[in-house]
């Protein structure tokens, strides 16, 4: 996580910017996204970060998977990290919105880390999911599968 995966030089007043790249998910357990930004001297509203999901990297959800505000403080650098439960496979992209109409946000940086299931964990989870499905079918029908 030393190098940001995306740097946005500035987000204009009332502006929106997308990260330049996407985050690939492979056997993902959780995703941590860290956002850092510098609020201008006349800023009067928060920044909002939105996270979007795509199963294939081409077809993106139109409703954010999650979002959070970064509370503004005039002429200050703020950094926030959020841990997100994500689908095991697919892609994530991020956008930031400047909700202030009075000033810009500069030097926006994004980092991410992914905690992944290893192959053994994935297999164990698949077995657990199958057993849970069998249990539910048994409860519904009374028949063992």
pLDDT in tens, 23-61: 999 989 899 999 999 999 999 999 999 999 999 999 999
| Domain span including residue 32 | 6-117
What total of structural domains would you count in the chain? 1
- Phi and psi dihedrals of 13, rounded to 5? -55, 130
Domain-embedded: residue 135 = no
Domain-embedded: residue 95 = yes
CATH number at residue 68: 2.60.120.260
Residue with tokens 């909700």: 99
pLDDT in tens, 84-98: 999 999 999 999 999
Single pTM value for the model: 0.79
């Amino acid at each position: 996580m030393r190098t940001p995966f995306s740097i946005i030089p500035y987000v204009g007043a009332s502006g929106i910017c997308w990260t330049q790249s996407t985050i690939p998910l492979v056997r993902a357990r959780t995703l941590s996204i860290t956002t850092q930004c510098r609020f201008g001297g006349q800023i009067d509203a928060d920044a909002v970060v939105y996270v979007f999901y795509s199963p294939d990297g081409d077809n993106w959800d139109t409703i954010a998977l999650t979002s959070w505000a970064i509370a503004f403080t005039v002429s200050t650098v703020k950094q926030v990290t959020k841990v997100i439960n994500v689908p095991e496979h697919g892609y994530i992209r991020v956008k930031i919105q400047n909700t202030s109409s009075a000033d810009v946000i500069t030097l926006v940086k994004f980092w991410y880390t992914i905690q992944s299931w290893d192959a053994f964990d994935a297999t164990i989870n698949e077995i657990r999911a199958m057993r849970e499905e069998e249990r539910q079918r048994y409860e519904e029908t009374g028949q063992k599968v």
